[in-house]
Structure 1
Amino acid sequence: MTLPTPPDFLTVTYRPDLQVLVVRWQRLITVDEMQQGYRLLLEYAAEYGCRRWLLDGRRRFNTDREGAQWMVSTFLPQLQLRLGGRTYLAYLLAPVTLRDQDADAAFPPAAYFLDKPFVGERFVEEKEALSWLLRQV
């Protein structure tokens, strides 16, 4: 299968040595662009059979409730159907984003993920994010 080329606001690289999909948002994005980007990521993940994602949002800087609601209610439930098993999402964020109350409120608490076929965690250091992903089976 030929995968679509990512739009200018996104880079997607599959690391076969780590079995990790590395995604880097390149700029601020709209909710429509966020949805377009995540749909594309799912195509890449399905092609490679990859359930470990490193999502670098340090250049993106925006997390909003509308986008988070779409992720939780529409996008994330599709992962198990397409990928089988549990999907692990390590979000790499700028420290200022972690201190932003709106961004923090948009990200579900750890307890939310306990019975879900997906789990997300936030990091400020790429090494820590990769280490967490590599511990997931």
Structure 2
Amino acid sequence: MTPVDRFDGSNGRSELHLGTLEQASMRGGRHLYLFEIDPAKTRRIRDRGEVGKTQCRAARAAGMDALVYLNRYEGICIESVQNAIDAGIHDRIDSMADREFLKWFPEARDSWAILNPEDARLIASFACLSSARDFTENSETEGELAL
């Protein structure tokens, strides 16, 4: 099971952003949602801090269902950041290929931008992070989480 990142419809964006529970915990949201997704056509992109409207528009025009990217900002532990600083490579993090980034930050996981949120099926919602964590640890239900 892969848990949650966020869903923020207040900014006028029309895609649904999903990721792991660890990523969601860094977002500080009050409610978490577990979704089932099955995108047929995905495009892997590079994480540059946010999935832009232009990227989403181009992906939709190309018939994509989702964008997937190795999340370089959420779900990263402080120990890995400190190791990168100690090794003097912290200024190269944004320019690293995903494979190299994973060597330094093995806890990094993919996040998703689902371009047509209607394609995601809501499985459960949670009022707090601990409830979502309990559910994902004690359930065989598979899905992606959104905050």
Give the structure, 1 or 2, with the largest relative contact order (CA under 8 Å, sep 6 or more): 2
The structure that has the greater radius of gyration is 2
Q: TM-score, normalised by structure 2?
A: 0.25
Q: TM-score, normalised by structure 1?
A: 0.26
Judging by fraction of residues, say which structure has more helix.
1
